[in-house]
Amino acid sequence: MINPPKISKLTTEEKLLMGPGPSNIHPETSLAMSKPILGHLDPDFLRILDENQEMLRYVFQTKNTLTLPISATGSAGMETCILNLVEPGDTVLIAINGVFGARMKDVAERSGAKVETLTADWGSVFSLEEIEEGLKKFSPKVFGIVHAETSTGAQQPMEGLGALVHKYDCLLLLDCVTSLGGTKVLIDEWEVDAVYSGTQKCLSAPPGLSPVSFSQRAEEKMAGRKSKNRSWYFDLSMVKSYFGGERLYHHTAPINMNYSLHASLHEIVEEGLENRWKRHEKNHQILKAGLEALNIEFPVEEKYRLPQLNAVKIPEGVEDVKIRNRMLELHKIEIGSGLGAFKGKYWRIGLMGHTSRAQNVIRCLSALKECFLHFGYPVPEDPIEKAYRHL
């Protein structure tokens, strides 16, 4: 017999999560997860699933019937969209200006697609002219682009993109993992065919579900497949029967995760989408003012910045890890490191969902000021005083 390990009971310490995700969650969301578990075919649970779908349609701003939370994290939403829309040999065009465009390319390659790419500098976005040139050149069946690039803090303009993609008989696939619930997302108005997100960012639920939505055009593409989906778990031809009227068993849904999603979506419905978008923008402006006092700059042009995910350049001479470690250990605040080309050069400061509150911005700026003073880095102006002017 193997002896049992000596492990203490689970304990955690509350911290302010101001990185790229997860975000802090509302107390009601935490309480929701502790409610009694139900069977995945229990009528009370099926009602919760229905209400989650209804609220997701509101948050996505869509009337798409096929709108549901995939039982896995945001990257699974990406796989779900690609594996259901793409067959081996299909040409797929992916726009890459950061880590998550590159991940979309990787997933598309694994699906057996012929993948072509458009590339842009990190921190920049794509013009309609650049995209049209790629559509003309490659004639793809699916064009994939990231709306909110989490690695750079850049927000892709969407006006006119759906109509342009459809002009070339192509489907539009959109990554809204970091944007959904924090900045304007208008799936029907933008004519998006497939979209995926995650629960742990601006929706302020724990990681573990990935909301997706598909247009009628996308559903027709899936219905006309000539080959079997390479994934059993993410095959929507089966999954949708559980969420629809048939209630056919496919997998055991994560019951308590759906409770948490219901609570977090209900918070959004009560606040109102437009109010929520304004709150994120307001707190971004407060943070921006305070960071400028510390000579911290943004790599993204102002009109393309994400309000909820602030990628900022670390001032010359300031050591990345020293600051982040002291922020976490002393101040109990997490900020994110840079990824890829931004590693060691940028921080990513999240203002997502329940975390996005003025008092949290002030707390973060106060901690940054203390860390700069502790290590002898220059503090040209008081970031708190400057931030207060924007409250």
Instruction: State the residue range of the domain holding 147.
Output: 27-269
3-state SS, residue 194: strand
Same domain, 83 and 224: yes
The pLDDT value given to residue 92: 98
User: For position 106, which CATH number holds?
Assistant: 3.40.640.10
Residue 302 within a domain: yes
Residue 12 within a domain: no
Residue 289 within a domain: yes
Same domain, 200 and 338: no
Instruction: Measure CA of the first residue to CA of the last residue in the chain; give whole Å.
Output: 63
Residue 18 within a domain: no
pLDDT (tens digit per residue) in 365-388: 999 999 999 999 999 999 999 999
Q: How far is CA 270 from the centre of its chain?
A: 21
Rounded CA-CA distance 229/235 in Å is 6
The pLDDT value given to residue 41: 94
Same domain, 117 and 130: yes
Contact 348, 338 (CB under 8 A): yes
The pLDDT value given to residue 103: 97
Same domain, 141 and 261: yes
CA dist list (Å): 252 to 70, 248, 391? 12, 11, 46
Contact 114, 92 (CB under 8 A): yes
The pLDDT value given to residue 251: 94
Same domain, 328 and 362: yes
Other beta carbons less than 10 A from residue 380's beta carbon: 10
Query: What is the number of domains present in the chain?
Result: 2
Which residues neighbour 98 within 8 Å (Cβ) at sequence distance 6 or greater?
122, 146, 149, 150, 151, 152, 154, 339, 340
Rounded CA-CA distance 76/54 in Å is 21
Residue 14 within a domain: no
Domain boundary among 269, 299, 330: 269
Domain boundary among 244, 269, 294: 269
The pLDDT value given to residue 246: 85
Residue 36 within a domain: yes
Taking only the tens of pLDDT, the chain with its 391 residues reads: 999 999 999 999 999 999 999 999 999 999 999 999 999 999 999 999 999 999 999 999 999 999 999 999 999 999 999 999 999 999 999 999 999 999 999 999 999 999 999 999 999 999 999 999 999 999 999 999 999 999 999 999 999 999 999 999 999 999 999 999 999 999 999 999 999 999 999 999 999 999 999 999 999 999 999 999 999 999 999 999 999 878 999 999 999 999 999 999 999 999 999 999 999 999 999 999 999 999 999 999 999 999 999 999 999 999 999 999 999 999 999 999 999 989 999 999 999 999 999 999 999 999 999 999 999 999 999 999 999 998 8
308: closest CA among 159, 155, 173, 174?
Answer: 155
Domain boundary among 227, 250, 269: 269
The pLDDT value given to residue 274: 98
Per-residue DSSP letters for 201-240? STT-S-SS-EEEEE-HHHHHHHHT-SS--S-STT-HHHHH
The pLDDT value given to residue 232: 97
Residue 146 within a domain: yes
> Cis bond leading into 22, ω under 30°?
yes
Same domain, 192 and 320: no
Same domain, 259 and 282: no
Same domain, 322 and 252: no
Angle between helices 255-271 and 43-60 (to 10 degrees): 40
Angle between helices 74-85 and 236-243 (to 10 degrees): 120
Residue 135 within a domain: yes
Same domain, 131 and 166: yes
Same domain, 164 and 289: no
User: For position 326, which CATH number holds?
Assistant: 3.90.1150.10
Contact 283, 234 (CB under 8 A): no
Same domain, 253 and 361: no
Same domain, 140 and 216: yes
